[in-house]
Structures are given as C-alpha cells and as structure tokens.
Amino acid sequence: MARTGLSREESFLGIAQRSIIVMVAYIPSDTLSSYLRVASVGLWVERLPDGRAALVCKIPETAIKAIYRRATTTLLMASVRAESLTVLCLGLWVDDERDRPFKVTMVNSSEEDKATLIGILEAGSVALHCLNELNHPALSGSCTLDADAAAAAAAALRASEHWILTPAFSNTASMQDLARVLHLALDRFQAHIHTSGAEVGVTDIGFTARVPMTLEVWPPIEIFEASPTSVSGPFIINDTNEGARLENMILSVLDYVYPGRAYVSPHVEDAGISRELADALAFDELVICVVQAKALAVLGVDRDRPSSRRIANVEKDIKKGLKQLAGAMSNIRSAVPMSTRDGSSIGVPGRQASPAHAILVLSEMYFGIDWKAVARILAEASQSDVRQGLFHVMDIQELAALAIDCEDSAMFNNRLIQRWFAVQERGTAYLRTKRHP
C-alpha cells in the first residue's frame, strides 16, 4: 500500500500542499481547499494542474465505502427555475442501500465549470476523487460515463442558459436574497431526484440528465494525521476494523482542540481490575470531553440489507453508547484512578467540577432515527447531579464542524453548549453546524 502523511494544518482543518507523499494522492487546489474546510458535503468540478478535469466530492465515509464496494454511482444534472433565476444543479447518486440511496447535491454558477463539464461529458470519462469528513483523500478512481447519456447531457448543457455568478450580478442582488433563491433551486432539484425523475413542475425543471458512471477504483492509500502532539492512523478506506478507524478519526479532531491531552481507550481501575473508561477522553484545565464511538458497519455486511435493519442497528448503538457514557461520566466525577491504555497515569484537572461533555459519535446521522426521542433522552441524561455533564449525539462530520477554527477548548465548549441548547429548543438531536469560508 502506498502511504501519504498529512500534517495538522493539512488535515480537515485546512488542506495545504506541504505533505510528504510516497505515492501522490489527490490534493485539491487552494481555492477548493477553502471550501472543503467548512463544507459538510459537496460536489465540485476541478481542473487539475496537468490540465485534466476531475469531479471532487466530499461525502461521508459510509458512502465512500459503498463506492469502494462497487455501488452504482450516477452523475445528476438539471437546470432548475427558482424565481427569476435558472440555476444549474449537480448531484452524485450512490446506491449504498436499497431503500435510501445517498445523494449529494450542489448549485454550480461557474462559467468555467460549464465548459469543463461539457468537456468531461464529451470525453466520456473523468477522474473521481472522494474526500471524507476530515478531508482525507479516501478514494480515487477512473470513471467511464454511459456514452448515450453523457452525449445527451453535453448537448443539453451546451444549450443551457443558466445563471452564472459574475461581479456585475453580485452588485444587483443582496447575498441574503441570492442565498434564499439558490436554496429554493436546490430544494426543487432534490425533490426532483428523490422522486425517481418525476417532474416537480413543468416550469421548475429545464433540462435534466442522469449519467451512469462505471468506476475503476485506484489502489487505496494509507493516510496518517500528524501533529506536534499526536500521530493517528493509518486511515485506509478498506480497513475492516471500522470501529477503530472511527476512534482514530475522533482522536484527530480532539487532538486539535486539546493538544497532547487526547487519548484513545483510556482505562479506569475498578476493584483492582483495569477496564476501558470510554473510547476517547480529552481535557485541559477548562473542559472535559468523554467520547463513545459507534461505527456503522459497511464493508462486512450485506449491501441489500433493508433500511429498517440499519435503523434498528443505529438505534441500538445510540442506547448502548449513551449508557456507556453515563457510566464513564460517573467514573470521571469519582476518584477512581485513570490511565492510558498502556498503563500511564492520567491526571485530569478539576475532574469533579470542570464543565464536561459526554459525546456519542456515530459514523452517520441516519435519517430514519427518531431524533426527537433522542433529544428527550439527552435532556434527561444531562440532568443527573451525579454525572454533571451535557450529553450529545452527533456524527464525525458534525464533530469536525464544531472543532474547525477553535482557538481553544473554551470556544469548543461554547459551541457544544450552544448546540445542546439548540437541540432542546428545536426538540430534535438532528442538527448540522455550518461554517463559512
């Protein structure tokens, strides 16, 4: 396996082109990197330094693993009318499960991208680069496009007169109004593709295209996250130990907020027996974070399993994880000795009184879960006088979004508190933090 190293600045917190690389992995341009840092998901067209074109998607690892397992992948395009604008929308459809296939969608307003897309469709091939929640280049491959569908899409796109963002246009509309219109266009595009191609309305959808893609996956690359205080990894998309992989991703995030004080699999002494406290622990003089990870198995399960089975597994993981976190918080507030998994003592300042967060991190915030019921459970767990901590459920994408650009643990603590109150105010644990470039 080839390997690549990512420094702390080159991780999910800001991809730069300073890696020491044995076999060159995909490295996005500086412009795209600025979007990747803060985007939760997305699909971009990029012209590479050698002149070739590529499609770049940032999607959850669960979807990337499905692509690795040869899930059917389709490029989506449509021109969508929203008020006074006709907007080009792009999407990627991944048949990662039978009942609820994954889709990522974005608005595209670049004149350069239009020409590049036409070239891709006319050539009938393109490189696809998939980045995960931490912006690791998790998978790349060569895509062959369905010839007839690609040719029809190229002709339609060439004739399209969709909206292009220009400096002149930006002076004629407020950003607030523009954002509203673009969200409307994206909503209509999503409604269109979610109904198996049915028209949202004769005036809403102009041309529409679905271009099947046949992917030849390139050899996976091992990635290591390195900072002055920690090295985590290797990360490789076909690692069947999916639980340990998620724990290492969590460590990468926590080490940024708590440099040198983030641990995987810390232990406690219980009646002379050492046992695991939680999957991860991080702290400083201000705040304590204890984390339990629950990875959704993808590589070793039946691809045709129904969504109901996946929902049941995630619900089971949530109940079990929150119970484990309650026990971990009780241990933290007590005086039991704590140590690293290799036996070194861990001293947590103010462990009986410092503000604390108990965070259950999932692979994915799955739509089928009753997130309103989860919000009520979190409120109840957070009211314990014994544990004295705020309980959260989120996925690795959300944890990374909360940590981006945090100056210190106090800022991270504030973001977690704000998110906890938002969960209670809205009555649902399904929330997404948005950051802007």
Each residue of 67-111: pLDDT tens digit?
999 999 999 999 999 998 999 999 999 998 877 889 999 999 999
d(CA 278, CA 261): 15
**Terminal Cα distance for the chain, rounded:** 34
Is 377:320 a contact under the CB 8 Å cutoff? no
Is 314:321 a contact under the CB 8 Å cutoff? no
Say what the pLDDT of residue 171 is.
65
| Domain at 240-426: CATH code | 3.40.1350
Alpha carbon 135 to its chain centroid, in Å, reads 8
Say what the pLDDT of residue 173 is.
67
Is 293:361 a contact under the CB 8 Å cutoff? yes
d(CA 68, CA 4): 19
Say what the pLDDT of residue 434 is.
75
The two three-digit tokens of residue 171, written as one number:
């002076």
Predicted TM-score (pTM) of the model is 0.86
Is 27:137 a contact under the CB 8 Å cutoff? yes
What strands, in cross-sheet order, belong to the sheet with 338-339? 273-276, 267-270, 338-339
Spell out the residues 6+ positions from residue 306 whose beta carbon is closer than 8 angstroms to its own: 98, 99
The two three-digit tokens of residue 231, written as one number:
């090295």
Domain definitions of the chain by residue range = 2-217, 240-426
Residue 173 sits at φ, ψ, to 5 deg, of -140, 145
pLDDT in tens, 343-376: 899 999 988 889 999 999 999 888 889 999 999 9
The two three-digit tokens of residue 195, written as one number:
């109904």
d(CA 33, CA 17): 10
The two three-digit tokens of residue 111, written as one number:
């004149």
d(CA 303, CA 67): 11
pLDDT in tens, the chain (437 residues): 333 334 334 444 443 332 333 345 788 999 999 899 888 899 999 998 888 899 999 999 999 999 999 999 999 999 999 998 999 999 999 998 877 889 999 999 999 999 999 999 999 999 999 999 999 999 999 999 999 999 999 999 999 999 888 877 766 667 778 889 999 999 999 988 877 544 444 458 889 999 999 999 999 888 877 777 777 777 888 888 888 899 999 999 999 999 999 999 999 987 778 899 999 999 999 999 999 999 887 776 766 777 788 888 899 999 999 999 999 999 999 989 999 988 899 999 988 889 999 999 999 888 889 999 999 999 999 987 766 899 999 999 999 999 988 888 999 999 999 999 999 999 999 998 876 55
Q: Which amino acid is it at 146? A: D
d(CA 106, CA 42): 6
Cα 134 to Cα 7, 24, 259, 265, distances in angstroms: 12, 18, 17, 21
